[in-house]
Amino acid sequence: MRSTDCFEFRRRIDDVCYRFEPVAPRGGYPAWKRVDFDLWLTWISGSGWCVVDAHGVANSRPWNVELADQRNEPPEGEWLSKKGDKSYVYDLVRFPGPGAGE
């Protein structure tokens, strides 16, 4: 994975997409920030790869990849988010970010 890679969460129910771009590490782990909101895609010790809010509360994680099977980058594929009474299924997709071809 290149440090310029970005991620996109694509919501299955309505095809809404949320883009995450690389930022400085959080807690010593790689991180990506959603471009339009204070949410980060990062590693949480004991939980694995998650999307967390500004308070560090996890609200999304991979659905079919157990913690023991998670590696050094967020797993692409099916993720589940939950906030309050709402939950959604997303597909996490990695793609080259700006400057990747330079």
Q: pLDDT at position 55, please?
A: 94
* Predicted structure pTM score: 0.89
Instruction: Kindly state whether residue 15 falls inside one of the protein's structural domains.
Output: yes
Please report which confidence band the pLDDT of residue 27 belongs to, taking 50, 70 and 90 as the band edges. confident
Alpha-carbon distance 72 to 37, whole Å?
A: 24
Report how far residue 8's alpha carbon sits from residue 76's, in angstroms, rounded to the nearest whole number: 10
Q: 1 lies in a domain?
A: no
Residue 60's nearest CA partner among 28, 22, 35, 34 is 34
**Does 34 reside within a domain?**
yes
Task: Count other Cβ atoms within 10 Å, centred on residue 35.
Answer: 11
**Is residue 93 domain-resident?**
no
In a domain, 98, yes or no: no
Residue 44's SS3 state is: strand
Q: How many independent structural domains does the chain possess?
A: 1
Q: Is 98 strand, coil or helix?
A: coil
- What residues make up the domain containing 55? 6-88
C-alpha atoms less than 13 angstroms from C-alpha of 80 in its C-beta half-sphere: 6
The string of pLDDT tens digits covering residues 34-87 is 999 999 999 999 999 999 999 999 999 999 999 999 999 999 999 999 989 999
pLDDT of residue 6: 96
